[in-house]
Amino acid sequence: MQRVISLTLPKRNELVETIQIYNQIANFHISKALEFKTISKRKLHNICYSEIRNKYPEFPSALIQCARDNAVEMLKGNKYNSYTRKRLDSSIRFDLRTFKMLLESGELNLTTIEGRNKYKIKIPGYFMKYKDWLVKGCTLGIDKSNLKLKIIVEGIDFTHNLTSVLGIDLGLKNLAVLSNGTFIKSNYIRKIKRKYAYLRKQLQSKGTRSAKRKLKCLSGRERRFVKDCNHSLSKKIANLCYGITAMENLKNIRKGKKGKIFNRLRSNWSFYQLREFIKYKTEEFGNKLVLVNPKYTSQKCNKCGYIDKANRSKGDFKCLNCNYNSSADLNASRNISHEAQLFCEQVVVNQPNVAILTKVDNNLNQLQIQFTIF
């Protein structure tokens, strides 16, 4: 499992200049990749390297390769969009060749435009629990008043108690419904979101300079509020005594039009962020997050297994086969839990004893030789 350590550095001229030139080189690779219609790293190297070396003779070659790889990955992620570009102040990536971080002493070695430089960083005591983990990489970007440094560390995965399963059904009305009967309402979050939407509407309609300044002050507040709520909820779920947490795989859930109001609520639904928070927090306890297919989880009865679209009526669930009556979200969470039970029931395959197999093979070979001689 991997974790990210967020740190800050004072703005130094060599670091800022390194970031800006790195992003210029990345944009140059993107433009050449679109021009020659290739994302082959070898071909881009042959096309761009000599020209970049002539233009920036003091820029490290290892960072040029990092910028090339970053450009290729951006094009793949954006599905080869011709408008793909990096801002000059966006974060850049260092690999193990271009940086070294000693977490225990707080010493950072970075390859910059002025060569290899050493920096002393104050690391908060909270991150000292990662001092024995492997450092895999880092990113460096420009913030308003300083530089933001993110160190990626990797630890050993461990699992235990993979027998109890907690199913979670996410929604808009109920933020989460757990298979143990716990309901987490979203009334307060929706109230705050409505307040921010009303403020944005009023300020945007004015269009004055002071209204634009106020909009700039409000930017990010709603996002930080929702992020804090997701952190609090994921922490409570991770502290429950369950070895497996099961959730629906809601990829592509936003596709399709279902009305203006519902589409707006669905677009502001941060289900993926909550899922990722639950994932990394449960991993710290040696537990696992399992994603199940959401098909028929709301139509299937968790008692008899009967599937019918008419079983669910808005927020209520009543099975037409066994007359089981429950909340629709609670029934769905228990179906998710039952689907994840298959993960627990998988038999652990023992590794073969190579010594025994070799001995058996040798005995068989001896019998075949004796039979041939006979």
290 with 235, same domain: the answer is yes
Task: Give me the pLDDT at residue 112, please.
Answer: 93
pLDDT digits (tens, 9 = 90+) for 177-218: 999 999 999 999 999 999 998 999 999 998 899 998 888 888
CA distances to 120, 227, 274, 281 from 277, in Å? 31, 10, 5, 6
Task: Give me the pLDDT at residue 269, please.
Answer: 85
149 with 175, same domain: the answer is no
171: containing domain: 165-185+230-345
pLDDT digits (tens, 9 = 90+) for 236-256: 999 988 888 999 998 888 777
- The larger pLDDT score, comparing residue 267 to residue 35, is at 35
- The larger pLDDT score, comparing residue 261 to residue 18, is at 18
Task: Give me the pLDDT at residue 346, please.
Answer: 59
124 with 234, same domain: the answer is no
269 with 132, same domain: the answer is no
Is residue 21 scored above 90 in pLDDT? yes
Task: Give me the pLDDT at residue 344, please.
Answer: 67
31 with 121, same domain: the answer is yes
114 with 169, same domain: the answer is no
179 with 143, same domain: the answer is no
pLDDT band at 374 (very low <50, low <70, confident <90, very high): very low
For residue 116, being part of any structural domain is answered with: yes
β-strand 244-248 against 165-170: which pairing, if any? parallel
Q: How many domains does the chain have?
A: 2
172 with 95, same domain: the answer is no
Percent of the chain with pLDDT over 90: 55
Task: Give me the pLDDT at residue 348, please.
Answer: 44
306 with 177, same domain: the answer is yes
Indicate the pTM of the whole model: 0.76
Lowest mean pLDDT among 226-230, 298-302, 336-340, 341-345: 341-345
- The answer to whether 36 touches 47, Cβ cutoff 8 Å, is yes
